[in-house]
Amino acid sequence: MATYLEFIQQNEERDGVRFSWNVWPSSRLEATRMVVPLACLLTPLKERPDLPPVQYEPVLCSRPTCKAVLNPLCQVDYRAKLWACNFCFQRNQFPPAYAGISEVNQPAELMPQFSTIEYVIQRGPQSPLIFLYVVDTCLEEDDLQALKESLQMSLSLLPPDALVGLITFGRMVQVHELSCEGISKSYVFRGTKDLTAKQIQDMLGLSKPAMPMQQARPPQPQEHPFVSSRFLQPIQKIDMNLTDLLGELQRDPWPVTQGKRPLRSTGVALSIAVGLLEGTFPNTGARIMLFTGGPPTQGPGMVVGDELKIPIRSWHDIEKDNARFMKKATKHYEMLANRTAANGHCIDIYACALDQTGLLEMKCCTNLTGGHMVMGDSFNTSLFKQTFQRIFSKDFNGDFRMAFGATLEVKTSRELKIAGAIGPCVSLNVKGPCVSENELGVGGTSQWKICGLDPTSTLGIYFEVVNQHNAPIPQGGRGAIQFVTQYQHSSTQKRIRVTTIARNWADAQSQLRHIEAAFDQEAAAVLMARLGVFRAESEEGPDVLRWLDRQLIRLCQKFGQYNKEDPTSFRLSDSFSLYPQFMFHLRRSPFLQVFNNSPDESSYYRHHFARQDLTQSLIMIQPILYSYSFHGPPEPVLLDSSSILADRILLMDTFFQIVIYLGETIAQWQKARYQDMPEYENFKHLLQAPLDDAQEILQARFPMPRYINTEHGGSQARFLLSKVNPSQTHNNLYAWGQETGAPILTDDVSLQVFMDHLKKLAVSSAC
């Protein structure tokens, strides 16, 4: 099996793709019996330091319905200078530029190691990146100060030719004009009035010049900056101005009386931001960055009223249909998100407040446009500051790790159809022969728009095997899938990345072992989890859990080895062995459990789950636990209450939190300040080790996780206790007082109980 693991890893590194099945069942019927759908996690812009982009355009299949890109899987007739499309079998002439090719003189796209290749398109205008800051001013003084500093800092990180704009909001919305000398100008809008895009553009005076520009745009892209020069300016020109402007930003001056929330017009502010970009830079990479410190309290998109005595909606309210603003607000933000997506812009939300800020309602803004969602307690925390700074991090080439306005197109060979995608994308509604009727996730299309993406953005793409059982595929036949991602690189180039992969077909009846062995349980767990989370957005929590359980039971029935009605005989092969455990933790995860989470938190967790790559997703599902002790080097340990020992330091990474937990004894030692005594230097080192490791994780992670340093009995220890498998609880006190771990006060079932049940159900012939 090591070979498969290597294969999978290799493929992931090269193509950024992980399939749930690496050998594909050759018939539709068999495929459905596999329980876990044929699907893959695709990281379209996976960083490939070894992959220099080629400076020409891809060669396309000439069949209008196909247009697949020439790839290493194509058969090439070097003499006739012909190539056969491996998707539609169309024979195509090479373009004249390829006249010199031969077996020894192949273009890169034909070499097998270039199954993923990136083209740079030289045509077309290059438009600068656009960053539009939308800043809440209803903040506490120190919060605002911190935010201002972060924003000022960010100016230095932007590329000098990037266009920036500034909108501030509180009770009113102000669009700041950046080009003025001597006096700072801003256009002010009422925060309660819903304005159409046209009205906004009229009021900003954008409509008049926009008309001629629209026609003139293609030939004269240079005129662009002038159109909107007042509100969006090259950073190099107005750096000082904007820095001063940000420095002078005041808190929203309107008085907030006792017992009221400040009036915050987030809905209108966002609407204006969207309208502004829509009118000036449609289909150009742009980032709307919303910084908000509380829930929208007025106007369209309001989430809660300004009466403090009425709290913001909770899951409880939502279940009881008691969240009176939710539907309307969600509709407002959905409308905005769709417009934004249609324009190819993306929206980031940086929400920092102790209470909820309405992420539940606003989530679609980020989810549909590929923007970031960051949630923190305050702008004055390193969590926000560093996360925000990381937005502007650069890759090995010195380019920003962000791309805009991407279109992902998927092509499949005939035996496959596309069922859908789950990730930060919207459907482009391109129907085609390879689009399945059955939808999984966002379906009914072969193309999706991803307005903002970074090297880790990952989509789950689901397929359906449509080959009929009675039309077997010849031995050695391979199915192929091509992913074509066109996007605007952060260097403002237009690029196309093409990944073509192929997998073997196998007859599920005769070659089940092959298929089984090629199961990627990690990918499968994440893909199933995405499906589950996707469902959870629209369905009741218990239904999703039941569905997940049924799928798991069916999978165990299909691939487990057991004697009927004999739970003890149940075995799973190595390639499946971890899968039930993933499912166990998934069921307990905040993605599916809303208990103890606010609606905002749930939205936040789900947002990240739907866009992170496989490794991160797995961490989210099943946090990693490391143990540090004097007994040996740090080691990963079971995410189990039995791992909580008095003389250990634990480091847990849940993706969203990094928890360092000092066992009881260690904590006492630390209190006794042994670490300061030279003779106990090793203790000092022990204490330091998890901190260093945590630091390492913190450095790499986006968004910055919450960093929690706690100890046995500490209040923050709950972060750890809620995650570990409750193998010891107050209900099974057999280990009480022993050194084997700490009991968790919970009624949740432990993994043991879960597995016992699973086995029982799997072997039962009843279902």
Partner 1 sequence: MSQQGYVATPPYSQSQPGIGLSAPHYGHYGDPSHAASLPGVMKPPGPLGAAAPGAMLPPLPPGPQQFGQNGAHASSAPGPPPHRFAGPAPVGNVASAYQPSAQPSYPSPMSTPPVVQLGGQLGAMQLDSHGPGAGPTGPAAFQGPPLPAAPSILQPGPRVLPPPPTALNGPGAPPLAAGAAFPPQAAGYGPQMGAPASYPGGLPAGPARMAGPQPPKQLDPDAVPSPIQVIESDRAARGGQVYATNTRGQVPPLVTTDCVIQDQGHASPRYIRCTTYCFPSSSDLAKQAQVPLAAVLQPFATPPADETPLYLVNHGENGPVRCNRCKAYMCPFMQFIEGGRRYQCGFCNCVNDVPTFYFQHLDHLGRRLDHYEKPELSLGSYEYVATLDYCRKNKPPNPPAFIFMINVSYSNIKSGLVKLICEELKTLLEQLPREEQEETSAVRVGFITYHTVLHFFNVKSNLAQPQMMVVTDVGEVFVPLLDGLLVSYQESQSVIHNLLDQIPGMFADSSESEAVFAPVVQAGMEALKAADCPGKLFIFHSSLPTAEAPGKLKNRDDKRLLNTDKEKVLFQPQTSVYESLAKDCVAHGCSVTLFLFPSQYVDVASLGLVPLLTGGTLYKYSNFQSTAHTRRPRVSMFKARPPSGRVVVLGCQHGSQTASDLMHVDSQQFLHDLRGDIEKKIGFDAIMRVRTSTGFRATDFFGGVFMNNTTDVEMAALDCDKAVTVEFKHDDRLSEDSGALIQCAVLYTTVGGQRRLRIHNLGLSCSSQLADLYKSCETDALVNFFAKSAFKAVLHQPVKVIREILVNQTAHMLACYRKNCASPSAASQDAVIGTVQLASSAALLANGRMTRNLKRREDLPKEEDTQLSSLLLILPDSMKILPVYMNSLLKSCVLLGRPDTPTDERAFQRQLVMTMGVADSQLFFYPQLLPIHTLDVKSTALPAAIRCSESRLSEGGVFLLANGLNMFLWLGVSSPPELIQGIFNVPSLAHVNTDMTQLPEVGSPHSQQLRMLMGIVQRKRPYSMKLTIVKQREQPEAAFRQLLVEDRGLHGGSSYVDFLCCVHKEICQLLS
Residues in contact with partner 1 by the rule CB under 8 A: 172, 174, 177, 180, 182-190, 193, 202-205, 248, 250, 253-255
- Closest to 302 in 3D by CA, of 198, 191, 376: 191
The angle formed by the CA atoms of residues 577, 28 and 561, to the nearest 5 degrees, is 25
Instruction: Give the contacts of 750 (CB within 8 A, at least 6 positions apart).
Output: 725, 726, 727, 729
CA distance 700 to 713: 30
User: What's the min distance (Å) between Cβ of 195 and partner 1?
Assistant: 8
User: Which residue's CB is nearer to partner 1, number 175 or number 375?
Assistant: 175
State the minimum distance, in angstroms, from the CB of residue 241 to partner 1: 11
Whole-number Å distance between alpha carbons of 210 and 175: 18
Report the largest interatomic distance among the alpha carbons of the chain, rounded to a whole angstrom: 85
Q: How far is the CB of 251 from partner 1 (least distance, A)?
A: 10
Q: Are residues 404 and 451 in contact, defined by beta-carbon separation less than 8 angstroms?
A: yes
Closest to partner 1 by CB, 186 vs 725, is: 186
Identify which of 413, 417, 452 has the alpha carbon closest to the alpha carbon of residue 431. Answer: 417
CB of 182 to partner 1, least distance (A): 6
| 202 versus 664: smaller Cβ distance to partner 1 | 202
SS3 assignment, position 193? coil
DSSP code at position 11: H
The residues, ordered by sequence, that sit 6+ positions from 368 with a Cβ below 8 Å of its Cβ are 334, 337, 338, 340, 341, 424, 425, 426, 451
Q: What is the CA radius of gyration of the chain?
A: 28
Q: Which of 332, 294, 336, 327 is nearest to 311 (CA)?
A: 294
Considering beta carbons, is residue 255 or 633 the nearer one to partner 1? 255
**Cβ-Cβ contacts under 8 Å for 678 (sequence gap 6 or more):** none
Choose between 202 and 399: whose C-beta lies nearer to partner 1: 202
The tokens for 509 are 């009846």
Closest CB to partner 1 among residues 185, 730: 185
Task: Judge contact between 687 and 670, C-beta under 8 A.
Answer: yes
Nearer to partner 1, 137 or 486 (CB): 137
DSSP 55: S
* Nearer residue to partner 1 within complex by CB, 191 or 405: 191
Q: In angstroms, what is the minimal distance from the CB of 178 to partner 1?
A: 13
Provide the token pair at 714. 């500490």
Instruction: Give the DSSP H/E element, type plus range, for residue 451.
Output: strand 447-453
Strands 459-465 and 39-42: antiparallel
CB of 248 to partner 1, least distance (A): 7
Q: Which of 182/633 has CB closer to partner 1?
A: 182
Distance CA 401, CA 392 (A): 7
Q: Measuring CA to CA, which residue among 508, 521, 505, 586 is closest to residue 556?
A: 521
| SS3 of residue 488 by DSSP | strand
Minimum Å gap between C-beta 288 and partner 1 is 21
Least separation, in Å, of the C-beta of 174 and partner 1?
7
299 vs 674: CA distance, rounded Å: 58
CB 664 within 8 A of CB 713: yes
List of E strands, 638-736? 649-653, 657-662, 706-711
Q: Measured from the CB of residue 254, what is the shortest distance to partner 1 in angstroms? A: 5
Tell the smallest beta-carbon distance from residue 185 to partner 1 (Å): 4
Shortest Cβ distance from residue 341 to partner 1 (Å)?
27
- Residues 56/45, Cβ–Cβ less than 8 Å: no
**DSSP secondary-structure letter at 675?**
G
The HSE-up count of residue 718 (CA atoms within 13 Å, CB side) is 5
Cis geometry, peptide bond prior to residue 633 (ω within 30 degrees of 0): no
Q: Which two tokens stand for residue 420?
A: 């859908």
Residue 331 parent element (H or E) = helix 326-343
Calpha distance 285→129 (Å, rounded)? 6
Query: Min. distance of Cβ 352 from partner 1 in angstroms?
Result: 25
> CB-wise, 252 or 415, nearer to partner 1?
252
Q: Which is nearer to partner 1, 124 or 205 (CB)?
A: 205
Look up residue 630 and give its DSSP letter.
T
Nearest approach in angstroms of CB 204 to partner 1 is: 7
d(CA 222, CA 539): 49
CB of 132 to partner 1, least distance (A): 18
In angstroms, give the least distance from the CB of 333 to partner 1: 22
Closer residue to partner 1 (CB): 64 or 253: 253
Nearer to partner 1, 199 or 597 (CB): 199
- To partner 1, the closest distance from the beta carbon of 175 in angstroms equals 9
